[in-house]
Structure 1
Amino acid sequence: MRKITCLFFFLLSFTLTKAQVPDQSWWTFSYPVNHGSDSSLLDLRYLNERFAGEHGFIRLSKDGNSFANGQNHEVRFWACNGGSLASGFDDKKLDSLARFLAKMGVNLIRYHGAINPKGKNTKITDVDTTEARNIWRCVAAMKKQGIYTVISPYWASNGHMGGWIPKEWGIDGYSGETDMWGVIFFNDKLKNAYKAWVKYLYTIPNPYTGVALKDESAVAVIQVENEDSDLFWTMSAIKPELAKMIGAQYSRWLKNKYGTTKVIKDTMALLPMYELTLPPGRANQQQVDDQVAFFADAQRSFYDDMVHYYRDILGCKQLINGSNWRTASQSRLLDLERWTNSGADVIAVNKYFDPQHKGPNDGWRVDPGDFYGAPSALKNPADLPTNLKHVDGHPMMVTESGWNLPNKYQTEGPLLVAAYGGLTGLNTFFWFTPTAVNYAQLPYFTFLNIQGQHPMNRWTTSTPGEMGMFPANALIQRLGYVQEGHAVAEERTMSSMLSRSIPPIFEEQPFDPNRDFVQRNNNDERKLSALTFLTGKVSTTYRAKKDTVKLLADLQALIDTKNSKIRSVTGQQLLNYRDGLFTLNTPKAKAVTGFLNTQKAFKLSEVTIKSDNDYATIELVSMDGLNLDRSKKILLQVGTVFRPTGWKEEPATITDDHKQLTGFKILNTGTMPWLGMPAKGSISLKNKAIKKAIQLDVAGYAIKQLNITHTTDGISLQLPTDTYYILLEN
């Protein structure tokens, strides 16, 4: 019976997944770059401070789980990457970017850069002064618009470091086009060079503000490095010279642990990373345990040393994050990875929603002929980037994420992030990444021509489906319109983490939504399903004397696998992952997203939303802080599916990693402008204060006043087919 049910759901999903190719009914998305006035009716700049840092440095809240300003008032962020655009923007364009982001609700940006020297014949302690100057420019420009900055100055990827590691640096085994994964944890020469780089960056007065970054309250968080870990697969490919260096350090660590009770070589051979991911109980378990403990100690010592250097030597007053990476085994090693970072203030991770994009260049571009699976997170809830286990006493940031192209269901992303981020206490989610001053007018690599077409930039968030959905969701996130709720509180011991015991719940857990929320592995070990993350906050601590897990909610009542529904512990979020429907129902924000024509009508207390759209996201959000039944200013925001003009695709099935994927083959990547699928629907609102509805263009300027129907208890409104923003007001 279960097989028949699964087959039915598969066929239903396949039937609903169809090619959506723009036709003459789709409306043209055109951003008015040179508008003659500054009379936009949708401008969220007022949410920001007069200048970033106006009320002091960003600090930890009293419980350490969130952010506060210098006056101890809670600070919520709506964030994006894009700081490194300063390297290609003049001052005018950089100022325009800052103004646009503030208008869209952004109050935090990340500069992911590379402060190391670039190219041949450089000294390892040299600094890329051009990069430093661009970081300073970015901080100054964003500060003026009330936008804080997070600075990420180092990534071990060779291309990011400039594409060439000089032999003159003296890093044995590493030169030319070699990546530097793992080196900084063990090589003092690189560690000391890093310290020289950031000393220059943080202690030289910023020529654009007159304030050194160490004293700059507009810098919110210092990120030590991006995406590296000695518990990740890249440690299996380190150079022999580094392996020898690590082996010698490992030997000293073992001698310190065992003294003279064991005969230990001066240079120990390292086990391959694969061995560290296997269950305990093998013949070499003690050897594995020791290497895991050594790697964890080495990485923790590195981050602790960097926190000390930034804070005590350089005098930096900002919060600090170690890194944002994952491990070779999320179930057995991720908690240990987070522990190594927990000597710093903030925990972070990079975690994207995968569009199942497959092609020869899928790491950076979308080519004609590529395949994509067109998944929606609404039908794949275990893959939500907000499914995170929070470390108690530390704010959590997702420093890179997005529903990246060629994903067609982008408009669900910002709403789900605001809804589940608010529920779980996710402090900051950085969209990756803006590529233009406002929207990507040309999101193509025009220097490439494939059959008369240009490949698309797969990483841009400057799209109608992502960036355009910022305003309503920035309001939800920053004004705290979603109630936080707690589902699971876990406590872990160091011994269980070092022995790689599987915790009761972990991120990126394989799951089957048609099974019970309690799963068992081969050893009959009880675990909580990944669906638990959608019920409320899951937290852990690493200071326990005994491993425990406390359920703070009735998960069996909240997770209805029979009907494929998940309700949050607060009752404000409801996901139907069979039909792909999500509703948010709070006093100040009501929203629905997904394959709306499967249900057509959605009653959310004071609001009823009706839609015949195959797919859409419709939100009503209070702009004056009052509940929607009394608010005198409400943003109605609508997003459907957006595609370039001339975009063509056809249904396709491929086999990838021995798995069959059903999706689409891209026949034509199209050209600009973007086109939007027509909106089909209406809203009814129980609010007698609303007297008019003004349709806005994509930049927030008034187009026309719409006809509304007044009812005994409020209003109703038919959505124009080109609805994007509508302002409802008194």
Structure 2
Amino acid sequence: MKKAAAAIYLLCMTLAAVAQVPDKSWWTFSYPANSPANSDLLNLRYLNERFAGENGFIQLSADGNYFIDGKHKPMRFWACNGGSLAAGFNDQQLDSLAAFLAKMGVNMIRYHGAINPHGRNTRLMDVDTAEARNIWRCVAAMKKQGIYTVISPYWPANGHMGGWIPGDWGIDGYTGKDDLWEVLFFNERLKNAYKAWVKYLYTTPNPYIKVALKDEPAVALIQVINEDSPFFWTMSSIKPQLAKMVGAQFSEWLRKKYGPQADIKDTTELLPIYNMTRPSTPKDSGRLNDEVEFYAEHQRAFYDDMVHYYRNVLGCKQLINGSNWRTASQSRLLDLERWANSAADVIAVNKYFDPQHKGPNAGWRVDPGDFYGSPSALKNPADLPTNVIQVEGHPMMVTESGWNLPNRYQTEGALLVAAYGSLTGLDAFFWFTPTATNYMQVPYFTFLNIKGQHPLNRWTTSTPGELGMFPANALIQRLGYVKQASALQEQRTLKSMLNRDVPPIFEEQSFDPNRDFVIGGNKDQGKYSPLAFITGRVSVIYDSKSDTVKLWADLNKLTDMNASKVNSITGEEQLDYKNGIFILNTPKAKAVSGFLNSKKTFDLNELTIMSDNPYATIELVSMDGRDVAQSKKLLLQVGTIFRPSGWSEEPANFNNNGKPIPGFKITSTGKMPWLGMPAEGSISLKNKLISKAIQLNAAGHAIKTLDLKKTAHGITLRLPQDAYYILLEN
């Protein structure tokens, strides 16, 4: 009977999955690269400073929670990765990238690189001088366009290290193609080499701007290490030589804690990281808790040392972030990870919205024959990348994220980040990653051919559905068009964290749409629903005297469980997670996103949006700082679904981490150009000052004047099928 029920369920879910395949009605997306200079009507370069660092170094606000410039003005960042494109770009291409990003509203870029020596026959203390030059070039090019740089110089994944660890480096147990996970935390030889690498990078005068990076305010922030932590699963796969080294350091730590004891060996055997993901038991709690405490204190001491080295030895004036990684158990270990990282100024995390993509090469490309679920965050609110707990006294950044291909619902991403990131006070969100000077003209790995098809680049953000949605949302986020509000604040004792007690709320918490905010009863589940993250800011204070929770509102009253709707504390955001519809309604920015034809008409006070689209994101944003009803210049931005020409897929079920998922099998990855699903709808705006509607192309240049209808209260406009950017002005 159970097998029959499961079969019926899978059949129903398969039938519910509808393939979105381009047909002849879809419009062709193109970016005119050779448009006349200074003729674009949409260019957000003016939001940036004349040059990055014009007002001094980026600093912390008085409470430590936010970024300010040297004149104490709050700084909000719409950011992306892509700095490492400097390695393959000439100076002209790099300048073009900087100008394009500034035009799209970007004012911060991350250089995710590797300053260590690369490959065979290198010496550990050497520096990759070519990488250093590219970092310097990137900083100089971005500075001219008012874009700040964040530098991440080290990631212990072997491919990033250069593909080969020479035995001559003397890293015991690590040679050849080994990854160096956790080594930097415990191996003094590697740590001293790291310090030599970054000393060269930050103290050598940058030949492109004649100033050493340590004195360059265009460098906003230094990231010590990318994606590494002793609290992650990789700690259980370290080499025996490193395990012995860590065990010896643990024994020394135990002697300092307990004094000389006969049962403390010279090298203490390490317990598996898995043990730390489970509740404490009387059998192992003392021994296990000691190891947990050792990892936490050792990691914090490591970041203390790194902050001291950068700031007091090298003289770097930038803010510093430790790392940006997750843990083997977000409920039991993440607070300890964040506590250790709070030795530095800024907290960060890498967090993507998962497209449920499965295939033999899904880590880096989309092949024909791959499967994907294509979830929308609008129906999966617990998975939003903006759902982060912010540590009081520290700015919070998401340093890598995106709605990666093959996800079809990319256009919702930028809006949700701008809306919920602003609501919660998220300080910077970095899209991963631009792959071209503007839009990627050929987003395929053309050196690979699979039965006449090329794999699609999974990680590019240079798509019309993702990067193309930047302008309206950069305006929303950077100009503060969404109110910030706090919802919940945890206070945690170090004792409860070391005991690995499950906190009241944590990131990546499972979501039951049929339960109230207060859940309770399950030791591995937080007390509060993850929906709290989309009501307002969720934060934590460490080293408290007691474990408590402070609420700014009755969270149950913000949610209608019967209608599956959740409101923000401010009333400006509403999410219908059953039907997958998001509404933003503020005086200066109004938007709807999702499966709009299930409701068709949306009344947002001064604005009414009507849409028959099965999926779309429609936004109206003030460009002159006035409320929408009084604005003389507004950006109407429309995004639907974008697919390569010839893309094809078919409904299919597949296994995703042990669970059956209804989704799609990709039968063709298609080819360029991109095609956009036609827009179907109109707007009515109560604003008598608007008299013209100009349709713009992807580069922000005028295409044609649209037929704007005057009404007694304002205007109405039918959306053209190829709507993307439309300028409404006086």
Return the TM-score normalized by structure 1. 0.98
Identify the residue that residue 300 of structure 1 maps to in structure 2: 300
Kept in 2, the 8 Å contact 1:620–1:637? The answer is yes
Kept in 1, the 8 Å contact 2:502–2:526? The answer is no
Deviation at 1:120, TM superposition (A): 1.1
Equivalent position SS for 1:429? strand
Does residue 256 in structure 1 map to residue 262 in structure 2?
Answer: no
* Counterpart Cα distance in 2 of 1:656 and 1:717: 44
Kept in 1, the 8 Å contact 2:331–2:507? The answer is yes
Identify the residue that residue 49 of structure 2 maps to in structure 1: 49
* Counterpart Cα distance in 2 of 1:59 and 1:372: 42
Equivalent position SS for 2:566? strand
Kept in 1, the 8 Å contact 2:271–2:288? The answer is yes
Deviation at 1:12, TM superposition (A): 9.1
- Alpha-carbon distance change, 323 to 552 in structure 1, aligned in 2, over 3 angstroms: same
Equivalent position SS for 1:116? coil
Equivalent position SS for 2:161? coil
Partner AA of 2:118 in structure 1: K
Deviation at 1:543, TM superposition (A): 2.6
Deviation at 1:251, TM superposition (A): 0.3
Identify the residue that residue 3 of structure 2 maps to in structure 1: none
Deviation at 1:523, TM superposition (A): 4.7
Kept in 2, the 8 Å contact 1:9–1:578? The answer is no
* Counterpart Cα distance in 1 of 2:584 and 2:12: 25
CA deviations 1:292-321 (Å, max 9, x no partner) are 000011110111100000000000000000
Deviation at 1:420, TM superposition (A): 0.2
Report how many aligned residue pairs link the two structures.
725
- Alpha-carbon distance change, 16 to 423 in structure 1, aligned in 2, over 3 angstroms: farther
Identify the residue that residue 312 of structure 1 maps to in structure 2: 312
* Counterpart Cα distance in 1 of 2:66 and 2:658: 42
* Counterpart Cα distance in 2 of 1:646 and 1:45: 35
* Counterpart Cα distance in 2 of 1:534 and 1:7: 35
Identity of paired residues, percent? 71
Identify the residue that residue 577 of structure 2 maps to in structure 1: 577
Deviation at 1:563, TM superposition (A): 1.2
Identify the residue that residue 436 of structure 2 maps to in structure 1: 436
Partner AA of 2:263 in structure 1: V
* Counterpart Cα distance in 2 of 1:722 and 1:407: 21
Please list, as runs of the form range in 1=range in 2, the aligned pairs for 1:630-709 lying within 5 A after superposition: 630-709=630-709
Deviation at 1:343, TM superposition (A): 1.1
* Counterpart Cα distance in 2 of 1:16 and 1:591: 27
CA deviations 1:426-473 (Å, max 9, x no partner) are 010000000000001000000000010000000000000000000000
Equivalent position SS for 1:474? helix
Equivalent position SS for 1:274? helix
Deviation at 1:658, TM superposition (A): 2.5
* Counterpart Cα distance in 2 of 1:102 and 1:525: 42
Partner AA of 1:64 in structure 2: G
Please list, as runs of the form range in 1=range in 2, the aligned pairs for 1:91-170 lying within 5 A after superposition: 91-170=91-170
CA deviations 1:594-628 (Å, max 9, x no partner) are 00000000000110000000000000000000000
Identify the residue that residue 362 of structure 1 maps to in structure 2: 362
Single out whichever of 28-37 and 140-149 deviates more from structure 2.
28-37
Deviation at 1:15, TM superposition (A): 6.0
* Counterpart Cα distance in 1 of 2:343 and 2:28: 50
Identify the residue that residue 448 of structure 2 maps to in structure 1: 448
* Counterpart Cα distance in 1 of 2:104 and 2:199: 34
Partner AA of 1:270 in structure 2: L
* Counterpart Cα distance in 2 of 1:216 and 1:480: 27
Identify the residue that residue 3 of structure 1 maps to in structure 2: none
Identify the residue that residue 237 of structure 2 maps to in structure 1: 237
Identify the residue that residue 383 of structure 2 maps to in structure 1: 383
Partner AA of 1:706 in structure 2: L
CA deviations 1:638-684 (Å, max 9, x no partner) are 00000000000111111233310101100000000000000000001
Report the RMSD for the aligned CA atoms in angstroms: 1.5
Identify the residue that residue 207 of structure 2 maps to in structure 1: 207
Deviation at 1:498, TM superposition (A): 0.6
Can you give the 5+ residue segments of structure 2 that lack an aligned partner in the other structure? 1-5
Deviation at 1:262, TM superposition (A): 5.6
Identify the residue that residue 415 of structure 2 maps to in structure 1: 415
* Counterpart Cα distance in 2 of 1:366 and 1:247: 42
Identify the residue that residue 274 of structure 1 maps to in structure 2: 274
Kept in 2, the 8 Å contact 1:517–1:561? The answer is no
Identify the residue that residue 184 of structure 1 maps to in structure 2: 184
* Counterpart Cα distance in 2 of 1:72 and 1:479: 16
Deviation at 1:248, TM superposition (A): 0.4
Deviation at 1:551, TM superposition (A): 1.3
* Counterpart Cα distance in 2 of 1:310 and 1:10: 55
Single out whichever of 142-151 and 58-67 deviates more from structure 2.
58-67
Identify the residue that residue 472 of structure 1 maps to in structure 2: 472
Equivalent position SS for 2:205? coil
CA deviations 1:85-111 (Å, max 9, x no partner) are 000000000000000000000000000
Partner AA of 1:91 in structure 2: D
